[in-house]
Each structure stands twice: as structure tokens, then as C-alpha cells.
Amino acid sequence: MIKSLYISGYRPHELGIFNNTHPGLAVIKRALTERLEQLIEDGLEWVIISGQPGVETWAAEVVIELKKTHEDIKLAIITPFLNMEENWKDDKKQTYHYICNEADFVSAASKKPYEAPWQFVEKDKFILDNTEGLLLVYDEENEASPKYLLRLARQYQEHVEDYELLTINAYDLQTIAEELQQQQWDDFY
């Protein structure tokens, strides 16, 4: 049983999603919602993200919505370093501040501002050490930045036998997109 889950995946630009009205966003959020609802029913208590724009932010928004009907689920944000959002555009900052305000726990793995890329790796190691599973929205055929976390998680699994590695891949997203399209079609007629 997974009680604490790290969720990560693609950044918005890696998926070509540049605004909140992109149709792919509804598909990703639906996939996350369905997976999280099942995990919550199985005993999931904490969702942990690092606050990065993209899948992590969208997962946080899903958890915030799920908290309305699943009172026991909690959201933690553990950033790689202090003031991570400092140089982000205003819309990304606004979303980040919203999810931080709604989170049950917010901290930084490194208690310093950005110094070097090692802080991202150390954050991933810290979160992997403090969770029982990773849900990665990632398709290995569409390689992008999540490949580094996937590689690290697989190495971690070699030493921690009960660590679960879950994915939502392109096939899963396509299936949900088709379901949503059918639902819209049914609603239309």
C-alpha cells in the first residue's frame, strides 16, 4: 500500500501546453484524478510534488480539488531550493502561490537559494527517500526531462524493494482523450 506518493512528469513546454485552455490539460488532469482516486481508496494519505510547472502543478490542482471529497488526502510541496519561483512569469508564480497556500506542508530540500543543478537531484533523492511510490506522467518514447527522475527512481528501486513506480503514458492519455471525446459526443446528442 502506498501512503505517500511523489508525482512528477513533463513540463508544459515539453507537451506544447502554453495556457490553461489547452485541451490536453483536461486529459492529463482526468488521468491524474482517476489514478489518485484509486490510490486514495487503497490508503494513499500524502501526495508530494516539488512545485515545478506542468504535471506537478496540475497534480497539485487535482489534489486540492480531491480534498473537497476526500478529507484525508494531504498535499506537500518540497522545492529543490528557496524562492524557486523568483524568476518565473507572473501567471506561473500566481498558480504556484495558490497551490502553496492550499498545501498542507511546504518546505525546501535545500535551505538556500539556487546554487547549482545538484539541488534538483538532491531534492529528488530526498523525496524518493520519504515516499513509497512515484507516479510519473511520462512516455519513454517521447523523451524529455522526466527521464532523469525515472532513471533515479529505477536505481532507487534496486535498493528499496517495496518502492512502487507507476506511470501514466501516452497510451493511457490517448484512452482518456477518447473517453472524453465520446462523453462530449454523447452529451451533444
Query: What does the pLDDT look like over 99-120, one tens digit per residue?
Result: 999 999 999 999 999 999 999 9
188 pLDDT exceeds 90?
no
Mean pLDDT of 49-74: 97
62 pLDDT exceeds 80?
yes
Q: In this structure, what C-alpha cell is assigned to residue 94?
A: 500566481
Answer for the pair 49, 77: CB distance below 8 angstroms, yes or no: yes
181 pLDDT exceeds 90?
no
Mean pLDDT of 43-58: 97
Torsion angle of C-alpha atoms 161, 156, 105, 36, degrees rounded to 10: -60
pLDDT band at 150 (very low <50, low <70, confident <90, very high): very high
